[in-house]
Structure 1
Amino acid sequence: MLQPPNESFSLSLTQDEALVLFEFVSRFSDSDQLTIEDQAEQRALWNLCCVLEKNLSLPFEGSYADILQAARERLRGE
């Protein structure tokens, strides 16, 4: 069963992961460029992907492309 689109989602990161991801996202916000400047950023992104993969069921739905498109449209409107 699909969860409502506005239902909250929590995940857990180590403080190191959070700090490295914060710097990565902040740099992107300032420059509009996604670049890996340190191997730790790549590792933190891989770890984040693993956490999301373990906790999300929607990417494995048959209608995932439609679900993703709807989520993108909702986020674009904010």
Structure 2
Amino acid sequence: MTPEDRLEVQFTITSDEAIVLFEFLQRFSNTDKLVIEDQAEERALWNLCCVFETNLAMPFDKDYPDFLREARERLRDEP
């Protein structure tokens, strides 16, 4: 892993996207169920995916599976 791999990623979303995504994530946090209750949630998630696609280079790297595995290991709660 290079120092670049640990840089922060900053991006901008609209306040509408933020509130819809907040509610979606709060509901998941409270119920442990990922369920789209409104098409706006789906749209906000698609928009967020587009933001990631334009701001992240790693998903297009041949070593992406390794980057993903390592990132998951770093983010996981301790066993």
TM-score bracket, normalised by the shorter chain, equals over 0.9
Give the RMSD, CA atoms, in angstroms: 1.2
Residue 9 of structure 1, CA deviation? 1.1
> Does 1 or 2 have the higher relative contact order (CA < 8 Å, sep 6+)?
1
Gapped regions of structure 2 (runs ≥ 5): none
For residues 52 and 42 of structure 1, what CA distance do their matches in structure 2 show? 15
Give the match for residue 41 of structure 1. 41
Paired AA for residue 5 in structure 2: P
- Give the number of equivalent residue pairs: 76
Q: In the alignment, is residue 22 of structure 1 matched against residue 26 of structure 2? A: no
Identical positions, percent = 58
- TM-score between both structures, scaled by the size of structure 2: 0.91
- TM-score between both structures, scaled by the size of structure 1: 0.92
For residues 9 and 77 of structure 2, what CA distance do their matches in structure 1 show? 19
Paired AA for residue 4 in structure 1: D
For residues 16 and 77 of structure 2, what CA distance do their matches in structure 1 show? 32
Runs of 4+ displaced beyond 4 Å: none
For residues 43 and 23 of structure 2, what CA distance do their matches in structure 1 show? 14
Gapped regions of structure 1 (runs ≥ 5): none
